Structures are given as structure tokens and as C-alpha cells.
Structure 1
Amino acid sequence: MCIRDRLREHNLMQAVARVNRPYTENKTYGLIIDYCGISKRLKEALDIFNEGDIAGYLEHLMDDVPKAEQAANKVKRFFKDVPTTYDSAEYVDRCVLDVLSAEDTRIRFERAFKEFVALVNNIIPNPEANRFRQDIYLYGRVYNAMRTNYSIKAPSVLEAVPKAKALIHEYLESNGIKVFHDPVSIYSSEFNDIVNKKTSAKAKASLIQHKVRTTISNLLNTNPIYYTSLREKLEKLITEHEQEIISTTDFLTELDNIKDELDVDVVARKHGMSREEFAVFQMVRAAYIQLQAGAEKASVHLTEEAEIKLARVSLPLFSALNGLAVIDWRQKPEQQKIMLKTIKRELYKIDFDIETAERESHNILNLARNLL
């Protein structure tokens, strides 16, 4: 708020109260630009109130210094068992991998870090803030690495503390560490750069592992069969690594292979299909295999002839659905009935019984909701 009028007493207090009113968690205080020097009359304005009414109305800025020291110690306690090679990439990786591996620990650390940076943000630009500079740098780096490593999508706590945020980001960027405001794509060169800067195979594997898992979760509804299979493959691999059945080096190699398989466009092109056609093909194929296996869950190996037959049904099926996907079709029950009939008609061509065709037609229609 910019004050150009000579406010006094009640009007002055009301102006201060209005600008200082919190709004969401990102606005915890207000700022007043006093062009008239009326803040000198603040004590005069306060004198018209009872002491009990104005308790805590004015707090000395330096009261936050001991609070910030306590908050800094709370943050440091998370990493008390990590050997201190201060401000090194290895130290940061160990904090992220060894201490912050569990989600509940990450949540508690973020709360403690948020409290710390908020207090320091209040003190800046007073020189007293300089005593916290190294801690702000170090744990800001840990916090940034944690968000990157575990693909955290939630807004950064630094968004609410602009002065501390500027300090941390300037430090990170001066040390060649990029700050990403949105999750980095696993297919991007930026992600490869982050991986290559990790100090150990373990750190690289952890980063890729969590990024692959997050990417699969994000893409699952676009091709449930394919990405569920990849997820099962990933979880099996993680278990084998945790049980030391495979080494970290082999684990990293296998993770890179799964990372390559995430690009469904490449896989679909090998089948001569688009990614959407491939998703429908995968669903039809999985249902066909389940039907052939029967109640005994026998192992089924499809011949090349069978694969071609399934593709000849799946591609026209997707084309038909694409043509029926008129504007707002998701809100039109009659249009959906037409689409279900179209799906079942195609499934009957590959010997689906009525019950299976009914069930799978709804599954394919649900898939179409995510594709069309």
C-alpha cells in the first residue's frame, strides 16, 4: 500500500490492518510505502487503544533471529547422521537418497525448511540474515535436489518467500544448478544433464527410478495394458535391486532400457501404428489372450497370424471410434451406445463371446475417453 494522505488514529490503524491482512498461505503480511512520514504517528494512534487490544500488534524484526536459529537447527537434525562434506554434491545426494527416501520424511523436512526460510525471509535485508546464508544455500540445494529427484509436482515453498527464493536461486544458478519450475520431462536433454551430474551410480539410479515411476503413472490411462506391464517390470527390478539380486550398475542399465520403452510412439511405429491405435490394439490383444487362456489361466503364445488378425480388427476399430467422437460425445449417452455397438461388432469378428464383448467394449470406450 502506498500512503500519500495524512492518515491518523483510527484511519491509520485501519489502513495498516487492511494491508496486513493475510490472504492464502502465500500472503502472510503486508508492505506499506509511507511517502508522508505518518508512521511516526503510529504510537499516537496506538495510544487510543487498551494495552490488551494491541498486544502483539508491533513486533521487533530482530525477534525472528533466535526463532530462525531454532528453525535452522530443526532442519539440520534431519541430516545429523550424514558425514559433513559441506556444500558438496555428494553430501546433497546422500541427504536426498539416505535421509529423504521416505515420503513422510520428505513432508516433515519440507515443513521444517518452510518455517526456516520464512523466518529468514522476514529478516532480509537486515545484515543479521547473513548468519543464515550458508544454511540457506545448503538446505536450499538439498530441497531443490529432493524436488527434482522425487518428481514433486506441488508448488515450491519458496514461492511464498521471494527474498529467500532469490537468494537460493542465485546461488544455485551460480553453481551451474538449474532450477526447474515445472517437472522435467524424462525425454529432455535437461533430464540427461541432471543425471550425468549425479555423483554415483546409486544417485543416478534413484533419479531415473522415480522419474520412470512418475512418468508411468502420468501415462497409464493412455495405454493401461502397456504401461501396467512396464510398471510391473519396474517394480520387479526395484525389488531385485533392494534384495541385492542385481548390482546397482546392472540396475541402472535395466532402468535405462525401461526409460527407452516409455516412448510408446517408437514402440507403436514398430507395429505400423499410431500411439492411439497401439493402445486399442494392446487392449484388444490382452482381452483376446485372456479369453484364449480360459479359466485355467493357461499360458498363451500368439502366432504371427493371430497378431495380424488382432491388428486388422484394432485399427479399423480405432478409426471407427475416431469418426464417432463428435463434439461433447462424452456427455451424449446415445452416441456412446452407438460406439459400444461398434466395438462389440468388431470384437465378435475375433470370436469374443457376448459376455466378454460386453465387458471389453466398456473398457475400450473408457480408453477412448482418454484418447479422443
Structure 2
Amino acid sequence: MHEINEEIPRLETRHRQAMRFFDYINKENLEVCLKVLEPEAKAAEMEHAIKHEIRVKLDENPVLYTSLKERLEELIEKRKERQMTIEELLEEYHDIIDRMRSNAEESAAHGFEPEQYPFYQMLASELDGFEEDNVKELTHIITEIIQENAVIDWTFKDDVKREMRKRIKRQLRTNDCPSKEVENLARQLMELAEAHYKQIAY
């Protein structure tokens, strides 16, 4: 019992630290928070915060956060193999955090609401070679379809989801999406819809 009582405060402290650094992902005072740490400890805290952010946000923006996850894994492996210095690793971690921060700004710059931008990123990623303006227009149309069909508890109503998926697939075909990609892309867009528009009708 004594050992358990000692372990609980340690777990609580670690949780508070994780949440503090996770919160600082989106704040300008990250440097202030990390300044007191040695480089190796700083890298460990930043890595933990980045992993936490990726885990939380992956379903909301799989294109962005999958790429960041892969980049993080690559950096960890390079550091393990001593292919980069701790200073280089810290710089790369800062770049990843900056990329997370700038996503909302990019969304506005492209003319999208925050919940629309992951749809644009997915379509742009999957429809390689399409004109940017066409992808933007398609993004607006598809998110409009989703909002039009998003009745209360729509994620639990198979008939509503079928209709939404059917309209999305029809729109993809109208916009000359390759036939072999329509089914898979529609599925991914539906998953995004459930992540971003689940509560829209409440």
C-alpha cells in the first residue's frame, strides 16, 4: 500500500507535465517553458507533447497528422542512430510544432472554416493534378452536402449516412474523380464528416 501511495503522486505529476506541454503546443511561450531544461530533457518533453497532439488530432486531420507522425518517427530513428545532433533534433521538433500552429492560419488563407480545411487537404492529397481552384470548389460543395444532411444523431442513422455518402460519390464523379478512387475517397470523407460535423445539428 505504501508503494502505491508513492506511485500516485508521480503519475499525477507526469500527467500535469504532459498536459502543460501539450497546451503549450499552441502558445508562443513554449520557449519560456522549456528554457530551464537541458537539451535532452527538452527534446523528451517536446516529443511527448507532439505525440499527444498527434494522438488527439489524428482523426480530425489525418492528412496533416499522419505526415507529422511519420516525420516524428523518422527523426526519432535518426537520433537513435546518431545521424543528427540534439540541437538539430530540437530544431526539427520546433518545425513540427510550428506546422501544427500554422494550420488554422492556412485554413483562413485558403478561404475555409477550420472544420473545412481537413477536407481540402484530403482532396488535394488524393486528387493529384487537379487545379487548386477546382479542389477548393469541390471542398465547399462536399462540406455543404454534409451540413445539409447532418440531422440530429445523424451518425447513428444508416439511412442518412447512405444518402450523404451517395451524394458525395456523385459529386466526386461529377468532378472527374477517377472511378477507382471514388469509393475509398468517399469513405475517408465520411470519416472526416463524423469527426467534424457530428454535433452540428445540436
TM-score, scaled relative to structure 1: 0.47
Instruction: Tell me: CA distance 1:145–1:203, structure 2 relative to 1, closer, same or farther (3 Å).
Output: farther
Distance of 1:208 and 1:279 partners within structure 2: 24
Is contact 1:320–1:342 with CA below 8 Å preserved after alignment? yes
Report whether the alignment pairs 1:256 with 2:94: yes
Give 1:205's match in structure 2, choosing from 43, 47, 55: 43
Q: Distance in 2 between matches of 1:360 and 1:371?
A: 16
Distance change (3 Å), C-alpha of 1:341 and 1:259: same
Match of 1:344 among 162, 169, 174: 169
Q: Distance in 2 between matches of 1:148 and 1:248?
A: 25
Distance in 1, Cα, partners of 2:61 & 2:55: 11
RMSD: 2.8
Q: Which residue of 2 aligns with 1:335?
A: 160
Is the contact between residue 330 and residue 336 of structure 1 (CA under 8 Å) also seen in structure 2?
yes
Partner of 1:224 in structure 2?
Answer: 62
CA distance in 1, matches of 2:108, 2:186: 25
**Aligned length, in residue pairs:** 196
Q: For residues 183 and 209 of structure 1, what CA distance do their matches in structure 2 show?
A: 10
Render the CA deviation track for 1:169-227: whole Å, top value 9, x for unaligned. xxxxxxxxxxx7x96452246755431221x1221111111101110110000011111
Structure with bigger gyration radius: 1
**Contact 2:60–2:195 under 8 Å retained in 1:** yes
Partner of residue 147, structure 2: 322
What's the % identity of the aligned pairs? 22
Write the distance in 2 (CA, Å) between the matches of 1:253 and 1:309.
36
**Structure 1 CA distance for aligned equivalents of residues 172 and 74 of structure 2:** 33
Which residues in structure 2 correspond to 1:34-45 (within 5 Å)?
none
Give the deviation of 1:355 after TM superposition. 4.2
1:283 has 2:122 as partner: yes
Consecutive unaligned residues of structure 1, counting only runs of 5 or more, are 1-27, 29-67, 69-111, 119-139, 154-179, 290-301
* Post-superposition CA distance 1:237-257 (Å, at most 9, x none): 121122221111111111111
5+ residue gaps, structure 2? 198-202
Cα-to-partner distance string for 1:258-310 (whole Å, 9 max, x where unaligned): 10111321232232222221111122222223xxxxxxxxxxxx4xx622221
CA distance in 2, matches of 1:281, 1:371: 13
- Report the TM-score when normalising by structure 2: 0.83
> In structure 2, do the counterparts of structure 1 residues 183 and 307 end up closer, same or farther at CA, with 3 Å as the change threshold?
closer
Q: Distance in 1 between matches of 2:112 and 2:90?
A: 30
Say if 2:175 is the partner of 1:356: no
Closer, same or farther in 2 for the Cα pair 1:116/1:144, shift >3 Å? Answer: closer
Question: Aligned AA for 1:262?
Answer: M
